[in-house]
A and B are shown apart, each in its own frame.
Chain A
Amino acid sequence: MKSSSPLKWFATREGLYFVALAVLLVVLLPLALDPFRLNMVGKYLTYAFVAIGLVMCWGKAGILSLGQGVFFGLGGYCMAMFLKLEASTPEATAIQSTPGIPDFMDWNQLTELPWFWEPFHSFSFTLLAVIGVPVLLAFVIGFAMFTRRVGGVYFAIITQAIAAILTILIIGQQGYTGGVNGITDLQTLNGWDIRTDEARTILYFVCVGMLFLCLFVARLVQNRKLGRILVAMNAQENRVRFSGYDVAAFKIFVFCLAAAFAGVGGAMFTLIVGFMSPSFIGIVASIEMVIFCALGGRLSILGAVYGALLVNAAKSGFSESFPELWPFAMGALFIGVVLAFPNGLAGLYQTYVMPLEDKIFKRNKGAQLEAKPAEKAAEPKPTAEKTPDYDPMIDSYSPEKS
């Protein structure tokens, strides 16, 4: 399963899939796309963070959260608060009746920065909060729910309700949150202008770097015994429990992990897009995140990245030319993925492409090692990096609380 030297790992099949993705994201797309389009891809990639988290949480452990937008949003808002404060210096806001506070607060007759905004003057606090706030909320929700054995559809509905609550709260409290418009007009990060093409390109690469960091963390978890327990828990929760594992702790862990990924994705979203608003975190946005994961293949972390890229690219494409058709396509995607190919593109890849690969690999091993990544990356194909230990046909059924 693992090779002894880290360099050799890149020559394994799994390693090659990672290399292929890296070549696509680091070399091919930046070469092929103008800065505007590349920025769009960067935005799609921020959703891949959420999708990777969902693979771990839903695909592996069977916990479907319909509220991942909440964590994405919290990460994004934390970053946006920091950037907004930086943009709201007393000089820049001299025309306001209270200079030095964000413009939307002034419009809403606030005369003082609310207490919970204060710590966001600090960049290091913000970085901590981007992960810390989502994880803390996930821990509270997870602790309350999983120790009481709430799972399955109940959990899904409650996370969805939490997404609704947060959205309504943010929209309703516009003096504190910027309301329905969100936090806009973000300009600099520690004095560095994030709106230039150059900055956006750099941020794209930062995003790709962070994405690979998350991928490696997810890979570490899934390949260790921890990952095996998560999958086992999904199928035989009681056997895991009576083998001496604290099932709730494992569920809380994976839910928090997914929240952390989503938080990082949200923060990157704010940086790349330049604003954050409630429309990215509500019920509809949150459930769309699930389809990114489902299309890619709910058990495949790399598939999740391709899923996020493809669905979002398709969405942009449709919205530009046939906006009225997009909901039909999206609806069909939900139904189709669930009914026809529950393991998503990764599952299809495993069934149809991997046998071909096997043949090629056997025929001439050496020559393929170099040709492979570029050839694969040229055409974004989903990959399946699953260890052979697991049957891909595990479905997501999780036993209800009895």
Chain B
Amino acid sequence: MSAAKSKSGDFLLAVEGLTVSFDGFKAVDDLSFYLDPKEIRVIIGPNGAGKTTVLDLICGKTKATSGSIKFDGKELTKLKEHQIVHSGVGRKFQTPSVFEDLTVFENLEVSYPKGHSVMGALGFKRDAEVINAVEEVAETIFLTEALNEPAASLSHGQKQWLEIGMLLIQKPDLLMLDEPVAGMSVTERKKTAELLRVITRDHTVLVIEHDMQFVGDIADRVTVMHQGKVLSEGSIEHVKSDPKVIEVYLGH
């Protein structure tokens, strides 16, 4: 499932001239940015800046009006959602969306990248390989103890981790997380930061986050969005001291 890594020097993800308009309103306006392999990039910006829309566009939930999204050399704008997933892009939603009626194990199993066609799902068997992969991911996301619990019984933070785990088991090259620590306790936040650090050893991560403390903890680089455009980009210190950013975002 995991696609070949991009050639050295190439970007893993190249977004260029991306525009989407709803009813004449440009939610994302001629946006360009580039991700290096293994980078943690955080997108910040005031409400309505178009952050979530960017993730929607990359994962195919929303179709771009114009522009291109090149991932590992492939053009994503022409693919369907499940094809984008198969090419190595995983997406976590803002509110945790796990399968409440299934156990943690089953949640991870469903996400395991095998048997995704109708016939494949009919013939899918729970073999040692699957069990190993599930247990491995469960350990990463601190849920080994809860494997047989129904997902409905997890805490909010645990559900967020489970959803991240459901992405990890797909072995994506790019993980996109929409506000992964929203609604989490302080300890859960710390653990999540730790989790993200583990994840980035093998993955490129694109995060939307509001919590500046957390952003400072994890980000390699930060992209600040405002009104569908990139306002500033660079290290956390760089953007924090950018007067434009201070005016529209941090100053408030």
Please, which residues of chain A bring their CB within 8 A of the CB of B99? Answer: 232, 235-236, 239
Given that A242-B85, A243-B85, A244-B113 are contacting pairs, would A228 and B97 also be in contact in the complex, using a CB cutoff of 8 Å? no
- Is B91 part of the contact surface with A, judged by Cβ < 8 Å? yes
Tell me the B residues contacting A by CB distance below 8 Å.
59, 61, 80-82, 85-86, 90-91, 93, 97-103, 106, 109-111, 113, 115-118, 121-124, 150, 152, 163, 166, 170
Please, which residues of chain A bring their CB within 8 A of the CB of B81? Answer: 241-242
- Is A226 part of the contact surface with B, judged by Cβ < 8 Å? yes
* B84 vs chain A, min Cβ distance (A): 8
In contact, B170 and A243 (Cβ under 8 angstroms) = yes
Please, which residues of chain A bring their CB within 8 A of the CB of B116? Answer: 244-246
- Is A329 part of the contact surface with B, judged by Cβ < 8 Å? no
Q: Roughly how many angstroms separate A90 CA and B118 CA in the complex, as a whole number? A: 48
Given that A238-B97, A243-B166 are contacting pairs, would A232 and B102 also be in contact in the complex, using a CB cutoff of 8 Å? yes
In contact, A224 and B124 (Cβ under 8 angstroms) = yes
Given that A243-B110, A244-B113 are contacting pairs, would A391 and B101 also be in contact in the complex, using a CB cutoff of 8 Å? yes
Given A229-B121, A239-B99, A243-B110, 9 extra CB contacts under 8 A: A224-B123, A225-B109, A235-B99, A235-B100, A238-B93, A242-B59, A242-B90, A247-B82, A250-B118
* A390 vs chain B, min Cβ distance (A): 5
Q: How many A-B residue pairs have CB under 8 A?
A: 87
Q: Roughly how many angstroms separate A250 CA and B115 CA in the complex, as a whole number? A: 12
- By beta carbon, the residue of chain A nearest B80 is A246
- By beta carbon, the residue of chain A nearest B90 is A242
- By beta carbon, the residue of chain B nearest A246 is B82
Please, which residues of chain B bring their CB within 8 A of the CB of A247? Answer: 82
Q: Roughly how many angstroms separate A264 CA and B113 CA in the complex, as a whole number? A: 35
Q: Roughly how many angstroms separate A389 CA and B86 CA in the complex, as a whole number? A: 27
Given that A239-B99, A242-B59 are contacting pairs, would A232 and B122 also be in contact in the complex, using a CB cutoff of 8 Å? no
Tell me the A residues contacting B by CB distance below 8 Å.
220-221, 224-226, 228-229, 231-232, 235-236, 238-247, 249-250, 253, 389-391, 394
Please, which residues of chain A bring their CB within 8 A of the CB of B118? Answer: 226, 249-250, 253
Please indicate which of the listed interface residues B101, B102, B113, B124 has the most CB atoms of chain A within 10 Å of its own CB: B101
Please, which residues of chain A bring their CB within 8 A of the CB of B91? Answer: 242
Q: Roughly how many angstroms separate A240 CA and B106 CA in the complex, as a whole number? A: 13
Given that A243-B110, A245-B82, A389-B106 are contacting pairs, would A226 and B121 also be in contact in the complex, using a CB cutoff of 8 Å? yes
- By beta carbon, the residue of chain B nearest A1 is B126
* A4 vs chain B, min Cβ distance (A): 13
Could you show 29 A-B contacts with beta carbons less than 8 Å apart? Answer: A220-B122, A225-B121, A226-B121, A226-B122, A228-B102, A229-B110, A229-B121, A232-B99, A232-B110, A235-B99, A235-B100, A235-B101, A239-B163, A241-B82, A242-B59, A242-B61, A242-B81, A242-B85, A243-B170, A244-B85, A244-B111, A245-B116, A246-B117, A247-B82, A250-B121, A253-B118, A389-B101, A389-B106, A390-B102
In contact, B82 and A244 (Cβ under 8 angstroms) = yes
Please, which residues of chain A bring their CB within 8 A of the CB of B102? Answer: 228, 232, 389-390
In contact, A390 and B93 (Cβ under 8 angstroms) = no
* B242 vs chain A, min Cβ distance (A): 33
* B59 vs chain A, min Cβ distance (A): 6
* B154 vs chain A, min Cβ distance (A): 15
Contact of B124 among A225, A249, A394 (CB under 8 A): A225
Q: Roughly how many angstroms separate A231 CA and B106 CA in the complex, as a whole number? A: 12
In contact, A225 and B101 (Cβ under 8 angstroms) = no
In contact, A239 and B93 (Cβ under 8 angstroms) = yes
Please, which residues of chain A bring their CB within 8 A of the CB of B100? Answer: 235, 391
Q: Roughly how many angstroms separate A224 CA and B91 CA in the complex, as a whole number? A: 25
Please, which residues of chain B bring their CB within 8 A of the CB of A236? Answer: 97-99
- By beta carbon, the residue of chain B nearest A242 is B91
Please, which residues of chain A bring their CB within 8 A of the CB of B97? Answer: 236, 238-239
- By beta carbon, the residue of chain A nearest B89 is A242
Please, which residues of chain A bring their CB within 8 A of the CB of B115? Answer: 225
Given that A226-B118, A238-B61, A250-B118 are contacting pairs, would A243 and B124 also be in contact in the complex, using a CB cutoff of 8 Å? no
* A340 vs chain B, min Cβ distance (A): 22
Q: Roughly how many angstroms separate A253 CA and B150 CA in the complex, as a whole number? A: 27
In contact, B82 and A389 (Cβ under 8 angstroms) = no
Q: Roughly how many angstroms separate A229 CA and B109 CA in the complex, as a whole number? A: 11
Q: Roughly how many angstroms separate A243 CA and B92 CA in the complex, as a whole number? A: 10
- By beta carbon, the residue of chain A nearest B126 is A225
Q: Roughly how many angstroms separate A243 CA and B82 CA in the complex, as a whole number? A: 7
Q: Roughly how many angstroms separate A240 CA and B110 CA in the complex, as a whole number? A: 9
Contact of B121 among A224, A231, A390, A394 (CB under 8 A): A224
Q: Roughly how many angstroms separate A96 CA and B170 CA in the complex, as a whole number? A: 69
In contact, B122 and A394 (Cβ under 8 angstroms) = no
